[in-house]
Structure 1
Amino acid sequence: MRHSRRGRPHRLLRGIQYSQDRIAQTALSVPHTDVQSTDVSVSLDRLKIALAATEASLQNPFPASWYCISGISLVFLFSPSQALLSSTLPSTQRSQHKIEMMNMRKRTLKWITFFLLFIFLTSFVLNYSSTGVPAAWFSKQMVQELSQNFRKFIKSQPCTCAHCISQGKVSYWFDQRFNKTMQPLLTAQNALMEEDTYQWWLRLQRERKPSNLSDTIKELFRVVPGNVDPMLDKRSVGCRRCAVVGNSGNLKDSSYGPEIDSHDFVLRMNRAPTVGFEADVGRRTTHHLVYPESFRELGENVSMVLVPFKTTDLQWVVSATTTGTITHTYVPVPPKIKVKQEKILIYHPAFIKYVFDSWLQGHGRYPSTGILSVIFSIHVCDEVDLYGFGADSKGNWHHYWENNPSAGAFRKTGVHDGDFEYNVTATLAAINKIRIFKGR
Structure 2
Amino acid sequence: MVAVRRRTLKVLTFLLLLIFLTSFFLNYSHTAVPAAWFPKQMVLELSENLRKLLRPRPCTCARCVSQQGLSAWFDQRFNQTPPPLLNAHNALLDEDTYQWWLKLQREKKPNSLNDTIKELFSVVPGNVDPLLEKRLVGCRRCAVVGNSGNLKESSYGPEIDSHDFVLRMNKAPTAGFEADVGSKTTHHLVYPESFRELAENVSMVLVPFKITDLQWVVSAKTTGTISHTYVPVPSKIKVKQDKILVYHPAFIKYVFDSWLQGHGRYPSTGILSVIFSMHICDEVDLYGFGADSKGNWHHYWENNPSAGAFRKTGVHDADFESNVTATLAAINKIRIFKGR
TM superposition score category, shorter chain reference:
0.7 to 0.9
RMSD: 1.1
SS at match of 1:235: coil
2:330 aligned partner, one-letter code: A
| Residue number in structure 2 paired with 1:339 | 239
User: Structure 2: how far apart are the matches of 1:184 and 1:252?
Assistant: 31
1:226 aligned partner, one-letter code: G
| Residue number in structure 2 paired with 1:388 | 288
SS at match of 2:135: helix
| Residue number in structure 2 paired with 1:350 | 250
Is residue 378 from structure 1 mapped to residue 278 from structure 2 by the alignment?
A: yes
Q: 1:170 aligns with which of 70, 77, 84?
A: 70
User: Structure 2: how far apart are the matches of 1:239 and 1:323?
Assistant: 42
SS at match of 1:390: coil
Q: How far apart are residue 407 of structure 1 and its match?
A: 2.5
Cα 1:335/1:394, change in 2 over 3 Å: same
Kept in 2, the 8 Å contact 1:159–1:238? The answer is: yes
Q: 2:196 aligns with which of 288, 296, 302?
A: 296
Q: How far apart are residue 404 of structure 1 and its match?
A: 3.2
| Residue number in structure 2 paired with 1:426 | 326
| Residue number in structure 2 paired with 1:309 | 209
User: Structure 1: how far apart are the matches of 2:58 and 2:169?
Assistant: 29
How far does the alpha carbon of each residue in 1:348-406 deviate from its partner, in whole angstroms, 9 at most, with x for none? 00000000000000000000000000000000000000000011000111111112355
Is residue 402 from structure 1 mapped to residue 302 from structure 2 by the alignment?
A: yes
Is residue 417 from structure 1 mapped to residue 317 from structure 2 by the alignment?
A: yes
| Residue number in structure 2 paired with 1:233 | 133
Kept in 2, the 8 Å contact 1:250–1:439? The answer is: yes
Q: How far apart are residue 241 of structure 1 and its match?
A: 0.2
How far does the alpha carbon of each residue in 1:163-192 deviate from its partner, in whole angstroms, 9 at most, with x for none? 101100100000000001221000111112
Alignment of 1:2-401 (within 5 A): 158-235=58-135, 238-401=138-301
User: Structure 2: how far apart are the matches of 1:236 and 1:372?
Assistant: 23
How far does the alpha carbon of each residue in 1:322-356 deviate from its partner, in whole angstroms, 9 at most, with x for none? 11010110111000000000000000000000000
Kept in 1, the 8 Å contact 2:171–2:194? The answer is: yes
User: Structure 1: how far apart are the matches of 2:108 and 2:245?
Assistant: 26
2:220 aligned partner, one-letter code: A
How far does the alpha carbon of each residue in 1:299-335 deviate from its partner, in whole angstroms, 9 at most, with x for none? 0100000000000000000000111010110111000
Flag the structure with larger Rg.
1
SS at match of 2:73: helix
Pick the structure with more helix per residue.
Answer: 1
User: Structure 2: how far apart are the matches of 1:403 and 1:211?
Assistant: 39
Q: 1:437 aligns with which of 327, 337, 340?
A: 337
User: How many residue pairs are counted as aligned between the two chains?
Assistant: 284
2:315 aligned partner, one-letter code: V
**Greater relative CO, 1 or 2 (CA 8 Å, sep 6+):** 2
SS at match of 1:190: coil
Kept in 2, the 8 Å contact 1:205–1:310? The answer is: yes
User: Structure 1: how far apart are the matches of 2:188 and 2:137?
Assistant: 21
TM normalised by structure 2 equals 0.82
How far does the alpha carbon of each residue in 1:240-273 deviate from its partner, in whole angstroms, 9 at most, with x for none? 0000000001000000000000000000000000
Q: How far apart are residue 237 of structure 1 and its match?
A: 5.6
Q: How far apart are residue 158 of structure 1 and its match?
A: 4.9
TM normalised by structure 1 equals 0.64
1:436 aligned partner, one-letter code: I
User: Structure 1: how far apart are the matches of 2:298 and 2:280?
Assistant: 28
Kept in 1, the 8 Å contact 2:85–2:245? The answer is: yes
User: Structure 1: how far apart are the matches of 2:306 and 2:112?
Assistant: 41
Kept in 2, the 8 Å contact 1:158–1:235? The answer is: no
User: Structure 2: how far apart are the matches of 1:417 and 1:171?
Assistant: 24
Cα 1:389/1:362, change in 2 over 3 Å: same
User: Structure 1: how far apart are the matches of 2:304 and 2:249?
Assistant: 33
Q: Which consecutive unaligned segments of at least 5 residues does structure 2 have?
A: 1-56
User: Structure 2: how far apart are the matches of 1:171 and 1:322?
Assistant: 48
SS at match of 2:122: helix
SS at match of 1:436: strand
User: Structure 2: how far apart are the matches of 1:255 and 1:237?
Assistant: 32
Q: Percent identity?
A: 86
**Regions of 4+ moved over 4 Å:** none
